[in-house]
Structure 1
Amino acid sequence: TFSINSGKKYKFGDYDLKITGLSLKETDSNEIKNISNKLLKNEFYSPLIINKLSKQVTDFLESKRYGNFEINIQDSKAGEDKINVIVQLNEGQKSLINKINIQGNTITEEKVIRDNLILAEGDQINSSKIKKSIDNVKSKQLFSKVDYKIEDSDKKNFKDFNLFVKEQPTGNISAGVGYGTNGGIFEAGVNERNFLGQGINLNFNGKLSTDKISGVFSYNDPNFNNSSKELAVSLYSEKDDFTNAGYENKRIGTSFSTKYEIYEDIFFRPNIGIQHDSLDITGTVSNLLRSRQGNTLSSSVGYLFSIDKRDSKFNPTSGTVFYFSQDIDTLISDVHAFKTNIGATVYKELINDKFIGSAKARLANSTAINNKDIKISDRLYSSSSDLRGFEPRGVGPVDTNEHIGGNNLLTLSLKSTFPNPIPDSLRSTSYLFLDMGNVWGVDYSNSIPDSSKIRSTTGIALDLMSPIGPLSFTYSIPISKASTDSISLYYFFLDSYLALI
């Protein structure tokens, strides 16, 4: 028989912040005090809480671009049952980078890795920039492992930045099947994320479902011609073939875009595109479809501004992403439309790092110019990621028993991860969600009912890496809906792939 005495319990007492040599804004100093207050007030003393306090203060300072600091948390007994805490912040030792050494890239060109580093030889060592550089390399998903080590060099006040990577297969042939409440889907594709070891992404994907056939070929060079600008080209073809529908709609088109950083974390992406639409009537259809019968050609120019303040592109736990985009059909288009999208996503750790919450909002509008009506392909529909629990084209105005999309779309999605008992080797993510939104606006008719009812759904989802490939499952429960909506309670998808190189 063993008897274990846990010892006397202590509570956190007073906590203070001391700063030496570090220029800290008053608002940032107050935020660190707030972090300490939330973690320590009325809590029993625990080394785990001390470690969490150190991590949260470090993450906060790095998010505010304080790159040269040292943190030391001191605790001392005060009275019979209290422990006081002092968060000591000091200016870090100023060192410069002598050499950046990259090891393990047997396939990937060193230039591809250096393009993602925001540090260079001669720069001052900055923990915030190091963290962001490592995250940039990880986000490319070219390597199974990325690590680093700062070591002394043979020069005084200089250090070497040693980066270690481990190559992994970046090419694959994939095939996947999915099934939901209202039918199945089959996908197949060929993808290479690191063509010729230059970080170029080549991708072909084909999709066959109960209502659509599509194929897309894309090319993406993240640093075209050493210009520090991304070049993206795509060629696509789609055919709508809805069950019991009296029409067939085909689209073929291409687009070109470039993307570059105009200021820290602020990006600009101009684009041009051209698309040919063909609509054939084969039976009884809505007035909208009958008026659009025939061929149309459209070309467009557009742009997208985005601000990315996430703590990580690879696996965000805090921060925000905001975007604003507009596309305008040019004079050679048969129908001139003006399309606008605004969206934002906010990430935040909730209870602990096992509960990562996010809120994603999107607002879109599509309007024709010169008192005309927009094309079928320019009408807006909610997607399966906007409103889970509803069919992708199952919400909004209805004409002759067909969902015709709208001129406006608004969605809000709240989500939180939570722990599950699945082994870590399967890399599973489970989350709860609450989706809300609506599609409205019928520009070609005043007689079609236009519901202002907000649709909402809640549910649970699971993503994991099974032995044969990625698996995802979603189960949704509609909370509010219209009588004309098409519901999809569950969706299951399994993807299998063969690694090439």
Structure 2
Amino acid sequence: MTFQKVHRRQNAVRATLLCTLAALPLPTGLVSLTPSAAEAQAYQVSTIDVRGNRRVDVSTVSAFLALPRGAVTAGQLNEAYQRLVASGLFEEVEIEPRGSTLVVTVKEWPIVRRISIEGNTRVDDEDLTPLLGSVPNRVFNPDQVEEDAAALAGAYEQRGNLAAAVTPRLIRRGNDQVDVVFEVAEGRVVEIERLSFVGNRSYSDRRLRRALATKQAGLLRQFIGSDTFVAEREQFDRRLLTDFYQSRGFIDFRIRSVSNQFSRERNAFFVQYNIQEGNRWSFGRITASSDIPGLNAEDYLAVSRIEPGRYYSPAAIDNAIDRMERLATQNGLSFVRATPQVTRDPRNLQLNVNFRLERGPRIFVERIDIEGNTNTLDRVIRREFTTVEGDPFNPREIRSAAERIRALGYFAEANVDSREGSTPDQVIIDVDVEEQPTGSLSLGAAYATDNGLGLNIGLSERNFLGRGQFLSFNVATGTSTDSASFTFGEPALFGRDLTGQVELYYRKTDFDNAAYNTKEVGFSPSVSFPISRNGRLALRYRIERNELEDVPDDSSPIIQREEGDQIVSSVGYTYSFDNRRSGLDPTSGIVFRFSQDFAGLGGDISFIETNALAAYQRQVWDEEVTLTATIEAGAIHTLSGDTSKVTDRFFLNSRQIRGFEPLGLGPRDLNAPQEDALGGNYYAVARLEAQFPIFIPEEYGITGGVFLDAGSVWDLDDTDGWNGMEVDDDFNLRASAGVALFWDSPFGPLRFNWTTDLKSEDYDKTRNFDVTVSTQF
């Protein structure tokens, strides 16, 4: 006997189930009777003889039959038969009246010995097995197997394999045991061949496609999962598109319809959004009012930070409300709510906003219930709430906590809702989460023109032991650099918004442009915490043993005098500001970093090292072109008569100024046979860059760019070079320009630079082409 049900997903709207039952014997105990014949035919039943049952009791069979003793009609026997078949307990059922005895012959379903999935190559067993409800060593249940096949087919549908078919088969093993095998025919992935828009005037199709999670199929369709058609993703894309327009002032934006058309070959979708942009509105008059005694509305208006004339943004309103309500709490005023009252000025296309400060309902948080966290501890989730049991209930704070929980990355789903508590003035916060894997193991190879071909292995865990701690271990080796690092971090040190981290590291370099090698081994604990909405301060300690080794006799005397090892013990801080995600203008952002390290708390050298970076980014021309301007600089000042060493000084790499080899610019002992690069105590660099779309379709993830770099490295404490001749350590400006190709590849974001030097020294080592990992700021 074979059991076969084929589950196939034909499209995202409806699923078709094709069922085939082969070689099942028909029941022989009853024949089809017309209603009149059934009523006329009658049997006398005094006893029921159940045969063939081994695990199911006779009383259970009789209960499903539910027949009275005495005269029964053929219709009653037919209904009893149907009830017994519907019980799902038996593979075969036969009912036969023999005189006054009703003989019931049954064949029970066998025991499931083993369950396996075959034919799946795109989805691993580890992802499919948890979807099965069938369990080995239990009675086979055909209905459950049917549900399992549908669940497996649904998993493929989520990945765009709408034509995938799942066929369950039974393999008889004797001793009343069977194996259940789910045979998977994966079929082709249904891709999105074209993603287009109708009604968009302000932004191109290319720009709007970048705002959606769904992408068009491109050259790398075998590696990119976001270009497959998934019906459930449409609602998320609708939200993303609406947020995109509303954050840019289009408050009347709406999506008229979304058309999904299946191609004739049934292997691709054409998706079209029909939208209505509406007018673009700006902020007009911003005011605040209140009737609460002792509350000065002007004080609260001052913290709104909304500038009239700027394009309207819901984020600006939310940030203003958050600051106002927080100020009220700081002033000892509970249950104060800031309600924006918006009026339109159609003539000027402006929105006048009045923040009405008023008392909200006196509702308190009774308790916070958390469910679904099988691995993550409750306290990891609770610390994302600024509200605890007994505090005033603030819906805005609860929504913010829900966003922070989702942002942790520990959960596939995280829902936060509120309901009435034991009394009307209390609420219960329900948190329902679904865990997801948080660890990763990476094995790979990388290539960069600075470091050559390299191999790396990495192990990381973002939610170590369910405590929210992060742990990582990385080892990398290349033609010029070997490194290893171990990092452990606690994001809520002492139960506060204080991130603690400990790092151990080892680095060894063997530069092509230097005859010497360096080695560093260090230990660095640090803590960091927010000091404003977009600002953060980090404090650290570092103890490091660095070594300059393998210095040949024909190297510069400066390098030879610095050969050996030293211990560096330092404390430092870094202040960082980044409003690219939370700024009022979604088309621009600012990044600023300033750090200092003070060495001399023990160790062999004393110095102050200062670094700073400021960058501004803006999207122009309907957000098709991204402009970036960056300035960075650094200085190292030695103390107590010490002199800096080559392991302490600055060298510019290809990310800081393009067009030069590693150690390719800066002070150099030209009289030494090796012409050693010496680095410098100071550096300064300015970079301008524009990134824009090119003729290649955007689904390939390739864009173009142009750039201009200028900067230098200069100053040495010791300039006594080869044969006593002084090394030139003056500021000598270098400049380069070029074009770039950016590729958002499956292996990470890469950039290819073609550069020409505009200003350089004769002894500089230039480079016309390089490949690097694309980074921002």
- Report the counterpart of residue 251 of structure 1 in structure 2: 520
How big is the shift at 1:304?
A: 0.7
- Report the counterpart of residue 339 of structure 2 in structure 1: 70
The superposition leaves residues 68-104 of structure 1 with CA deviations (integer Å, 9 ceiling, x where unpaired) of 43345444777xxx87754454347735562444454
What is the SS of the residue equivalent to 1:288?
A: helix
The superposition leaves residues 255-288 of structure 1 with CA deviations (integer Å, 9 ceiling, x where unpaired) of 2223345677553413131324242224632333
How big is the shift at 1:407?
A: 0.6
Q: Which structure features the higher share of strand residues? A: 1
Q: 2:713 aligns with which of 409, 425, 439?
A: 439
What is the SS of the residue equivalent to 1:378?
A: coil
Between 1:282-291 and 1:95-104, the stretch displaced more is: 95-104
Q: 1:271 aligns with which of 528, 541, 546?
A: 541
CA distance, structure 1, for counterparts of residue 597 and residue 475 of structure 2 = 26
The superposition leaves residues 369-400 of structure 1 with CA deviations (integer Å, 9 ceiling, x where unpaired) of 23332122111122444334544533322234
How big is the shift at 1:195?
A: 1.4
Specify whether residues 97 and 403 from structure 1 end up closer, same or farther in structure 2 by C-alpha distance, changes over 3 A only: farther
Q: 2:682 aligns with which of 391, 404, 408?
A: 408
Contact 2:285–2:353 (CA<8 Å) still a contact in 1?
Answer: yes
Contact 2:304–2:319 (CA<8 Å) still a contact in 1?
Answer: no
Contact 2:500–2:527 (CA<8 Å) still a contact in 1?
Answer: yes
Specify whether residues 112 and 369 from structure 1 end up closer, same or farther in structure 2 by C-alpha distance, changes over 3 A only: same
CA distance, structure 2, for counterparts of residue 137 and residue 393 of structure 1 = 45
Q: 1:55 aligns with which of 314, 320, 323?
A: 314
- Report the counterpart of residue 292 of structure 1 in structure 2: 562
CA distance, structure 1, for counterparts of residue 414 and residue 631 of structure 2 = 33
- Structure 1 residues 48-447: aligned runs within 5 Å: 53-55=312-314, 57-58=316-317, 61=320, 68-71=337-340, 73-75=342-344, 86-91=352-357, 94=360, 98=365, 99-121=367-389, 122-125=391-394, 127=396, 133=401, 136-137=404-405, 140-144=408-412, 148-149=416-417, 155-156=423-424, 159-163=427-431, 165-181=433-449, 183-224=452-493, 226=495, 229-243=498-512, 245-261=514-530, 265-282=535-552, 284-294=554-564, 296-308=565-577, 310=579, 312=581, 320=590, 322-330=592-600, 332-345=602-615, 359-400=629-670, 401-413=675-687, 422-423=698-699, 435-445=709-719, 446-447=726-727
The superposition leaves residues 121-141 of structure 1 with CA deviations (integer Å, 9 ceiling, x where unpaired) of 4145274x5676556545544
CA distance, structure 2, for counterparts of residue 66 and residue 358 of structure 1 = 35
- Report the counterpart of residue 42 of structure 1 in structure 2: none
What is the SS of the residue equivalent to 1:437?
A: strand
What is the SS of the residue equivalent to 1:393?
A: coil
How big is the shift at 1:478?
A: 4.7
How big is the shift at 1:196?
A: 0.9
CA distance, structure 1, for counterparts of residue 622 and residue 737 of structure 2 = 26
Between 1:114-123 and 1:152-161, the stretch displaced more is: 152-161
- Report the counterpart of residue 499 of structure 1 in structure 2: none
The superposition leaves residues 314-365 of structure 1 with CA deviations (integer Å, 9 ceiling, x where unpaired) of 9x95665544433233364233332222334556666677777665443221
Specify whether residues 283 and 263 from structure 1 end up closer, same or farther in structure 2 by C-alpha distance, changes over 3 A only: same
Q: 1:470 aligns with which of 748, 753, 777?
A: 748
TM-score, normalisation: structure 1: 0.74
What is the SS of the residue equivalent to 2:308?
A: helix
What is the SS of the residue equivalent to 1:216?
A: strand
Specify whether residues 97 and 303 from structure 1 end up closer, same or farther in structure 2 by C-alpha distance, changes over 3 A only: farther
Contact 2:616–2:629 (CA<8 Å) still a contact in 1?
Answer: yes
Amino acid at match of 1:335: I
How big is the shift at 1:367?
A: 2.4
Specify whether residues 360 and 83 from structure 1 end up closer, same or farther in structure 2 by C-alpha distance, changes over 3 A only: closer
Specify whether residues 168 and 354 from structure 1 end up closer, same or farther in structure 2 by C-alpha distance, changes over 3 A only: farther
CA distance, structure 1, for counterparts of residue 453 and residue 489 of structure 2 = 30
CA distance, structure 2, for counterparts of residue 14 and residue 235 of structure 1 = 51
Task: Determine what percentage of the aligned residue pairs are the same residue.
Answer: 23
Q: 1:482 aligns with which of 760, 764, 768?
A: 760
CA distance, structure 1, for counterparts of residue 472 and residue 370 of structure 2 = 28
Specify every segment of 5 or more residues in structure 1 that has no aligned partner in the other structure, as ranges: 40-52, 495-501
CA distance, structure 1, for counterparts of residue 626 and residue 377 of structure 2 = 35
CA distance, structure 1, for counterparts of residue 472 and residue 447 of structure 2 = 24
What is the SS of the residue equivalent to 2:559?
A: helix
How big is the shift at 1:58?
A: 1.9
- Report the counterpart of residue 50 of structure 1 in structure 2: none
Which fold has the larger relative contact order, with Cα–Cα distance below 8 Å and residues 6 or more apart in sequence? 1
TM-score, normalisation: structure 2: 0.50
What is the SS of the residue equivalent to 1:376?
A: coil
Between 1:297-306 and 1:264-273, the stretch displaced more is: 264-273
CA distance, structure 2, for counterparts of residue 258 and residue 10 of structure 1 = 47
Specify whether residues 228 and 399 from structure 1 end up closer, same or farther in structure 2 by C-alpha distance, changes over 3 A only: same
CA distance, structure 1, for counterparts of residue 524 and residue 735 of structure 2 = 33
Amino acid at match of 1:291: R
Specify whether residues 100 and 474 from structure 1 end up closer, same or farther in structure 2 by C-alpha distance, changes over 3 A only: farther
Specify whether residues 150 and 205 from structure 1 end up closer, same or farther in structure 2 by C-alpha distance, changes over 3 A only: same
Amino acid at match of 2:394: I
How big is the shift at 1:453?
A: 0.8
Specify whether residues 162 and 202 from structure 1 end up closer, same or farther in structure 2 by C-alpha distance, changes over 3 A only: same
Amino acid at match of 2:356: N
CA distance, structure 2, for counterparts of residue 291 and residue 438 of structure 1 = 25
Bigger Rg over Cα: 2
CA distance, structure 1, for counterparts of residue 423 and residue 754 of structure 2 = 61
Amino acid at match of 1:207: A
Q: 1:33 aligns with which of 282, 286, 308?
A: 308
CA distance, structure 2, for counterparts of residue 224 and residue 56 of structure 1 = 30
CA distance, structure 2, for counterparts of residue 11 and residue 229 of structure 1 = 41
CA distance, structure 2, for counterparts of residue 222 and residue 186 of structure 1 = 30
How big is the shift at 1:461?
A: 5.7
CA distance, structure 2, for counterparts of residue 289 and residue 103 of structure 1 = 63
Amino acid at match of 2:682: N
Contact 2:526–2:538 (CA<8 Å) still a contact in 1?
Answer: no
How big is the shift at 1:24?
A: 5.2
Between 1:378-387 and 1:101-110, the stretch displaced more is: 101-110
Specify every segment of 5 or more residues in structure 2 that has no aligned partner in the other structure, as ranges: 1-198, 200-274, 291-295, 327-336, 720-725
What is the SS of the residue equivalent to 1:107?
A: coil
How big is the shift at 1:293?
A: 1.9
